[in-house]
Structures are given as structure tokens and as C-alpha cells.
Chains A and B, each alone.
Chain A
Amino acid sequence: MSQRRRRSGNLGVIAPAEPAPELRLWEALNLALDREMAQDDAVFVLGEDVGLYGGSYRVTQGLWARYGEWRVRDTPISEGSFTGLGVGAALVGGRPVVEIMTVNFALLALDAIINMAAKLRYMSGNRLAVPLVVRMPGGVAHQLGAQHSQRLEHCFVNVPGLRVLAPGTPQDAYWQLRQAIRDEDPIVVLEHELLYFESGPFDEQAAPPPMHAAVVRRPGRDFTLIAWHRMVQVCLEAADRLAADGIEAEVVDLRSLRPIDLPLLRESVGRTHRALVVEEDCLFGGAGAEIAAALTEAAFFDLEGPIRRVAGADVPTPYNGELEAASIPDAAAVVAAVRAALEQAGPGA
């Protein structure tokens, strides 16, 4: 683990020569950007403090020195217009990667994302392309207060024209970002603030899965837990605890929220007959509601009980640390929900 990070000079860019066995998630994103920028001059990144400073979460570290200010552009605090700048550049041949410092500020860029990026191909009668990537970290971190601790999954999954990715491991972050940059559609990449400094196995040579494919992180026969981002870790912890009682939970990392990999979910539920969607975003009207509804429609006759959701409380995130922790799902809540569901007799029981 200690020798895994190699820097070229003091630039902070991961040296291409030695593929590392393990990376932190920010490093994987950094390497993905570096690879795509080296390969295609049309790729450029912009956002607040992405250049000289190296990115709030270090994702763009070293790129400014390597590619110069025109391809790694520090912007003023103008989310609406620099995201719209990305749209304009994408229309004429650019492949911009816009970094919005956190999802909280993306609310100021929703017009550019929803009214422009997502609609331009369709409104133009399929004559324009918007190959734009907008990356943004979100989620509840550590006591940042209500205006800095939210999730916007619900905002983006309902928008025709957008694709929405939610990588949660370095390996996924690397490939999904590279695939997103090469894609012809506008793509929102949701990242999680608490995952940037998490390490995970990384193999650049391994064949990348399709950009929107889900993956089973832990197999199990009794119950399907569906999650993304940090909630996958919460589910894995819950699965460990359930295993101690002989309940084998399968944990699915969705990785993509629009589109969703329903065939994989369907297959899993075909074996387990029960499912729980675990999301950090608020319960009411969240992405989890769509997943639960779609899976219910697809797998109703395989189910032994309703698909339930464990989600963030429908409150603005409180500052107090204990209340904050209580506002989002933890392993105990997942365990409790699984137990409650198993105790509830199904129609065939």
C-alpha cells in the first residue's frame, strides 16, 4: 500500500509506467483524466480551483502543469455559466469535463445541465451532440451543515437526455470516467465526498465492464441489497452482521442510476425473492423509489414480500454530529430492515 503511489516529479500525476495494484479513488479519477487528456486534445477540464490548486479533492492534481491553463481552466465562481460554457464548447468539437466543487453548487448549474445539455440533441432534431461530462461530489460528509450535505440523485435521474453514473470504487471511477469522456451524450458523474480517500484494488489492464452495468459485490441467497456509493459499504457491513445469524445477503452495487441494470437486479431477486434498496438521498421521490418500482414490476411474482427502502430521513441535514448520523442509513438500519422483512410472512409462507 505504501509504495503504490508514484508521482512524476512533484506534479502529482500518477506515472503511467507502473500500474499500481491499489489506488485511492481520487487518484483513479486523476489517472483517468490524465489518460484521456493525453489521448485526445479535445478533452479539457474546468471548474473552481481545478488548476493551480489541484482540485478540492485533488482529482485534477498535476494536470495544470502538464496540460496548461487552456486545458485545465480555473474558473470564477459562476457555476451556471461555466457549466454552460462546457455545453457550448461541446457543441463545436470540445470534450469538456466540468468539475462542480460539490453537488450543492450544482443547483446553480441546473439550467445548463437540464435545459441545455440534456435537451439540445433532441431539440435540434438529432443534429447536435453534447459530449459533456459534469462531475460533482456529494453526500453527507462530516458535519458540514445542511447546505453542504445533500444528494441530488433525484434531480438528475428524471431527466431525459442525461446519463447518471455513481462510481464507488477506484476501479469503477477510473473506467466509468474514461467511458463517460468518450461518450457522445451528456453525463453526470456523481461522486461521494467520503470515498475520495478510500483505497481499493486497481487494475488498469482488466477489461472494463459496460459503463452502466451493475455488479454483485457479495453473493448471497437470502436477500438482495441494492445500493451505490457509500451505501454499498454500509450494506456490506450489514451483510457481515446478518451472516453471523445465518442470513446470506447479496449486495449489488448499481454504479449507474440512469439507465439502471434491471436484468442484473431481476436475476438476483429471482434467486433471493426479497430486496431492499438502500440510498443516502431522501426517501420521498428518490432514485430508490424508481428502482423499487421497476423491480417490483419486473419481478413481482418472484417476490415474497414488498421491496422496501431504507433511505435518508426527509430532513435538511442537521449540523449536530449525532443527529447527522441519524439522518442517513447505517448498517444497523439495514440489518433491522432485513430482519423485519424476513419476519413478515409472505403470501406463500
Chain B
Amino acid sequence: MQRSLIRQFYRDMLLARQFEEAAAEQYRQGRIAGFLHLYPGEEAVAVGTLRAADPGDYVVSTYREHVHAMVRGIPPEAVMAELFGRAGGCSRGYGGSMHLFSPEHRFLGGYAIVGETFPVATGVGYWLRMTDSADAVLCYFGDGAVNQGTFHESLNMASLWKLPILFVCENNHYQIGTEIHRHSALAEVHRRACAYGMLGRRVDGMDVLAVYEASREALAQVRSGAGPFLLECETYRYRGHSMADPASYRSAIEVEELRARDPLASLWRKAEAAGWMTADERRAIEAEVTAAVDGAVAFAEQSPPPTELQAGVYARPLDLYRGAP
């Protein structure tokens, strides 16, 4: 594997970790409101899958999507400003943490209703197939989302019409406080692929190199016209479901066990042992990431608020009591 790619993974995951911790701090200080779902522990999933994708590929994600947005190139400033609800945010302050959008990055959200990413991605995949495009779609969802009707409905259509979609399950084993064996009759999500006649596999979602390799293979299949692929990434979130969740439903031992497999620490151990990255290089990345996160917060703080209540309800301003213009 290329050294530059390893450093990229490390940088992406470190930015993800530090950005989310900074967001938690800003939330505690009252600058970020509403629901805030953070990603620490799951970094290898977004980084490994999205670094395997092409720039032309579309991304459809959930409400836990800050990291996906940044890996796709949306500047941390624009993400943090969105969490602050400011005009400099990637959704200009109208979306919030759960609704990040950026058409020029082909980043299509940001969906806060569990199970919505499936049909949106299926529609994008349909359009790509209908127009003979070489691009693909990456569709993210949690382990809890696979029991929503849209999972079944959409995977069926995607497979039936051989749509170019990589379905990425971020299996962190919990839907809020309900552990997967208490919400799913079949806890191995990838095995559901066979119900729709499509390919699926499970990968260690704490290992960015494994996720990257699996994603490259899966995307090659998806692009070959073989149809969609269900990639289950087994991972874990260190924090509660959202900032409102103290996570009292799981033991400290469980969290410690998973932290021992931390994706950042394990990548560093491997990189150091293999001589892919030096301690100096690592320190340089850390300094750069810290500056980027500080810069994102500073940008968000000084970004003005949006002011137009009516902008963007319709394509053109619409008077509901004046049908004829």
C-alpha cells in the first residue's frame, strides 16, 4: 500500500476524531443545539469506504455524517458552521448537524429519518443506470435501519435492476440503547444480501485498511454492472447515541474492550512497524489537524446567521394565496 495513502487515512481519521470532540465541546458550551450524533470509534468505516470511491460517486448518509462530509472534501469550516446554524455552513444554516448537503461534492445528505438513505440512493443509482453513467452511489445506514421497510424495498429494487450502489452498513451494534441481538433476528447483516439475490460480506470496521480493500473490491463489482453490494462494517461508537445519551445500557468493560481495537491506534502501530510513517510525520499531521479543527471553530464563530426565513421553500417565492401570478 502506498505510504501517501496510509498518511491520508491517518489524517482523515484524526481529523474525524478531533473534529467530533471539538463539536462535543462546542455543544457543551451551548454553541451547538439540537441533536448531535458523533462518530468516534467508527472512523475507519467512512474513511475506508470513501477513500475507495471515485470523485464522481454520490454519497447518501445518515444523521451521523459529519465525517463522511469531510472525507468527501466539504471543508471542516463549512461543517462546523452548519452545526452552529450559520450562513457559512454547507446547508447555509438551514439543515443542521443531521442535514449536511453539498451538490458540488456530490454529497446528498444528511437524512434524519432512519431508513431514508435507501430509497434516495436507489433513485440516484436508477438515474446513473438509466443514463449509462460510470459513477456509483455509496449508501450509509446503521444496524438499526435494516429493519425498516425501505431496506427491504430498496435492496430488492436495486438488485432487480442491477443498480450501481454500495450499501454500507455501519454496524455499531446498537440502535440507540437496543443491542443488535435484541433488535434483529439475524444479527449478521451481510447475510441479508442473499434475500435480494445480491452480494454481501462483512469486514472488520475497526481496520481502515481492511475496509478500504473490501470497498475497492465491492465498488469494482458494483461498477462492472453486477449490481449492488452489501458491505457490513462491524464497528463501535465510544460515545452515547447522541450528546443527550449517557449510554447507561452498556458496561464500561465493553467500551474498554472496543477501545483496545481503536482504528487510529491500530493504524499507527501497523504504520510504524512497517515503516510507512515516522513519528515526525505523525506529529506533523497532528499539528495540521489541530489547526484545521481550531480554524473550523473560529470560522463557525464568526460566520453570520442566515436571515431569510422563506428562502428555498420553493424554487421561486410562492404566495400561497395567489395562484395566478
Chain A residues in the interface with B (C-beta under 8 A): 44, 70-71, 73, 75-76, 78, 80-94, 96, 111-112, 115-116, 120-129, 160-161, 163, 183-185, 209-210, 212-214, 255-256, 258-264, 294, 298
Chain B residues in the interface with A (C-beta under 8 A): 58, 60, 89-95, 99, 101-103, 108-111, 113, 116, 118-131, 149-150, 153-154, 156-157, 160, 306, 311-316, 318-325
Report how far A116 CA is from B118 CA in the complex, Å: 12
| Cβ–Cβ contact A94 & B130, under 8 A | yes
- Residues from chain B with a CB closer than 8 A to the CB of A88 are 60, 108, 119-127
| Cβ–Cβ contact A127 & B101, under 8 A | yes
| Cβ–Cβ contact A261 & B322, under 8 A | yes
Report how far A93 CA is from B315 CA in the complex, Å: 15
Query: Which 7 A-B residue pairings sit nearest by Cβ, starting from the closest?
Result: A88-B123, A84-B119, A125-B92, A126-B312, A261-B323, A212-B323, A81-B153
Given A70-B130, A126-B312, A263-B324, 8 more pairs with CB closer than 8 A: A80-B119, A84-B116, A120-B101, A123-B109, A127-B103, A210-B323, A258-B320, A298-B321
Closest to B151 in A: A81
Report how far A161 CA is from B320 CA in the complex, Å: 11
- Residues from chain A with a CB closer than 8 A to the CB of B110 are 123
- Residues from chain A with a CB closer than 8 A to the CB of B150 are 80-81, 84
| Cβ–Cβ contact A76 & B153, under 8 A | yes
Residue in A86, A129, A210, A259 whose beta carbon sits within 8 Å of that of B321 in the complex: A259
Closest to A78 in B: B153
Residue in A70, A124, A129, A262 whose beta carbon sits within 8 Å of that of B91 in the complex: A124
| Cβ–Cβ contact B313 & A84, under 8 A | no
| Cβ–Cβ contact B92 & A89, under 8 A | no
Closest to B125 in A: A88
| Cβ–Cβ contact B123 & A89, under 8 A | yes
Main secondary structure of the interface of A (DSSP, over half): mixed
| Cβ–Cβ contact A260 & B119, under 8 A | no
| Cβ–Cβ contact B321 & A89, under 8 A | no
- Residues from chain B with a CB closer than 8 A to the CB of A84 are 116, 118-120, 122-123, 150, 154
- Residues from chain A with a CB closer than 8 A to the CB of B160 are 76
- Residues from chain A with a CB closer than 8 A to the CB of B121 are 88
- Residues from chain A with a CB closer than 8 A to the CB of B118 are 81, 84
- Residues from chain B with a CB closer than 8 A to the CB of A115 are 113, 116
- Residues from chain B with a CB closer than 8 A to the CB of A127 are 91-92, 101-103
Closest to A44 in B: B130
Report how far A111 CA is from B112 CA in the complex, Å: 11
Known: A126-B92, A127-B102, A264-B324. A80 touches B149 (CB 8 A): yes
Report how far A184 CA is from B95 CA in the complex, Å: 20
- Residues from chain B with a CB closer than 8 A to the CB of A214 are 323-324
Report how far A93 CA is from B124 CA in the complex, Å: 9
Min CB distance B319 to A, Å, is 6
| Cβ–Cβ contact A260 & B321, under 8 A | yes
Report how far A112 CA is from B118 CA in the complex, Å: 11
| Cβ–Cβ contact A259 & B122, under 8 A | no
Closest to B111 in A: A116
Known: A125-B101, A125-B312, A259-B322. A92 touches B127 (CB 8 A): yes
Known: A76-B160, A122-B313, A128-B101. A116 touches B127 (CB 8 A): no
Report how far A212 CA is from B81 CA in the complex, Å: 38
- Residues from chain A with a CB closer than 8 A to the CB of B116 are 84, 111, 115-116
| Cβ–Cβ contact A128 & B123, under 8 A | no
| Cβ–Cβ contact B324 & A161, under 8 A | no
Closest to B116 in A: A116
| Cβ–Cβ contact A259 & B318, under 8 A | yes
Closest to A46 in B: B126
| Cβ–Cβ contact B157 & A76, under 8 A | yes
- Residues from chain A with a CB closer than 8 A to the CB of B319 are 259
Report how far A262 CA is from B321 CA in the complex, Å: 5
Known: A80-B149, A121-B313, A259-B320. A112 touches B119 (CB 8 A): yes
Report how far A162 CA is from B103 CA in the complex, Å: 21
- Residues from chain B with a CB closer than 8 A to the CB of A81 are 118-119, 122, 149-150, 153-154, 157
Known: A125-B312, A210-B324. A111 touches B153 (CB 8 A): no
Known: A122-B94, A123-B101, A262-B322. A85 touches B315 (CB 8 A): no
| Cβ–Cβ contact A213 & B92, under 8 A | no
Known: A125-B92, A125-B101. A116 touches B120 (CB 8 A): yes
| Cβ–Cβ contact A85 & B92, under 8 A | no
Residue in B94, B109, B129, B313 whose beta carbon sits within 8 Å of that of A160 in the complex: B313
- Residues from chain A with a CB closer than 8 A to the CB of B127 are 88-89, 92-94
Min CB distance A93 to B, Å, is 6
Min CB distance A259 to B, Å, is 4
- Residues from chain B with a CB closer than 8 A to the CB of A80 are 119, 149-150, 153
- Residues from chain B with a CB closer than 8 A to the CB of A163 are 314, 318
Report how far A260 CA is from B99 CA in the complex, Å: 31
Name 24 interchain pairs, CB-CB below 8 A, sorted by A: A73-B126, A76-B153, A76-B160, A78-B154, A83-B119, A85-B119, A89-B126, A92-B123, A93-B127, A93-B131, A94-B126, A96-B123, A120-B109, A123-B94, A125-B91, A125-B94, A125-B312, A127-B91, A127-B102, A160-B313, A209-B324, A210-B325, A264-B323, A298-B321
Report how far A262 CA is from B116 CA in the complex, Å: 36
